[in-house]
Structure 1
Amino acid sequence: MELTTRGRYRVFGHPRDPEELLLVELDGESFDPTYVRIDGYEGSLADEVSALRPGYVVEATLAWDDDGTPAFETVDVEQRSRIEFVDAVTGLFEAANETWNEAVAAGEGMNSRVTRDTDGRPNGALYVFAEQPGARDLFDEFESGVLPLEPLLQRVNDERDDDDPREVFVMRPVDGEFVVVYIVFEKEGLLANTVRETYDCPRR
């Protein structure tokens, strides 16, 4: 008898294999990563799977083969946030560099700030984390779900008292000193589109 499980997941990309889609479990606090195959579907399910994008939150039923490989049996999109991973960034924006320089001056491995628009309204939550050469690759850990982004997103949702779709940009400057996680509050707003166009992120 084929085993099926149902849960809520955030969709990531294809960090391991282009034929697999990474899901990070949202039920509970473990945020376990699961790789699900994306080929072999038919009809409306094939369309639904092909339309999934990094950042989406889905409720899905997974069917597990005897070898432990899961496939989608059903998938329903609950939210259409987006996540982009951009490595070797040049011309990183000023607020990110300032936040990192403050962390270095304080001898801290991370720092954060709220960014604001020209009218002083909060428009994003910016986090910087020191890379650890030879020990850990934080950019890869974020991309592969080993280091979860979800607690940062939950903090934003709690502070803003909503769960609106966001745009999340995970970026590593070309010098590799630190990693930026920039959670833009308004999906497809002016700030998100500016960041997307500046760093050549594809529209989805």
Structure 2
Amino acid sequence: MTPTTDGQFRVLDVRGETARLADCETHEPVDVTLDGDAVRPGYRVDAALAWEDGTARFETLDVVERTLLGYADGVTNLFEVALDVWEEAKREGLGVNARTTYDTDSEPNGAVYTFAEQPGERDVFADLRAGALPLEPLVDRLQEHADPPHEVFVLRPATHDFVLVYLVASKESVLANTVRDTYDLPRPSEPEP
């Protein structure tokens, strides 16, 4: 009998025929061999993972949330709020700092988090992408105020010593599209629901 693991997972990354998932409760990362193109980075799935020879495959898969997740390294032209949040973190000696962002009507439209880089200790950008640092608690916090799906962007500036996580409340919103255009993150094609 093939052992299985059931649970809800966030897709962190897809490279070739392998998806990196994080368990939504334990935040433990796991690599899963893909048999198709049903998932995108950011999707939340209910799944049963079948383990054969130490390799996980989807035995069952149900996409329950179509949030999108994008990564960009070496970005320039950071927006003012991101720089303000980082400068505040440096002044206060904080490793992590956050601020809600607002649209032109003063309605909340997202949240910015800055994480100080830790040269010689850890690569924060790579750790977020690999699941060594969990993104799910940040998404959970956003979902206390906005219904999914969202868009989440993990950005490493070219000339600053921090990593930025920008959680945009509404998928395909003007803000999400602006972030995608500014940081050259094309919207991925998505399978039909």
Shorter-normalised TM range: over 0.9
Deviation at 1:19, TM superposition (A): 2.9
Within 5 A, what are the aligned runs for 1:1-204? 1-14=1-14, 18-26=16-24, 28=25, 30-38=26-34, 41=35, 46=36, 50-65=37-52, 67-158=53-144, 160=145, 162-204=146-188
Count of matched residue pairs: 188
- 1:140-193: per-residue Cα shift (whole Å, max 9, x none)? 1100001000111111112x1x54211001101012500001100111111111
Q: Structure 2: how far apart are the matches of 1:35 and 1:52?
A: 13
- 1:115-155: per-residue Cα shift (whole Å, max 9, x none)? 11111111111111100100111111100001000111111
Q: Structure 1: how far apart are the matches of 2:118 and 2:175?
A: 30
- 1:14-59: per-residue Cα shift (whole Å, max 9, x none)? 4xx6331111111x3x211110112xx4xxxx3xxx1310000111
Q: Structure 1: 5+ residue runs without aligned partners?
A: none
What amino acid maps onto 1:122 in structure 2? P
For the pair shown, the structure with the greater C-alpha radius of gyration is 1
Deviation at 1:72, TM superposition (A): 1.1
- Structure 1 stretches of 4+ with a deviation exceeding 4 A read none
Q: Structure 1: how far apart are the matches of 2:74 and 2:129?
A: 14
Residues 2 and 64 of structure 1 are in contact (CA less than 8 Å); yes or no, is this contact kept in structure 2? yes
Q: Structure 2: how far apart are the matches of 1:58 and 1:110?
A: 28
TM-score by length of 1: 0.88
Deviation at 1:95, TM superposition (A): 1.0
Q: Indicate the percent of aligned positions where both proteins have the same amino acid.
A: 51
* Equivalent position SS for 1:132: coil
TM-score by length of 2: 0.92
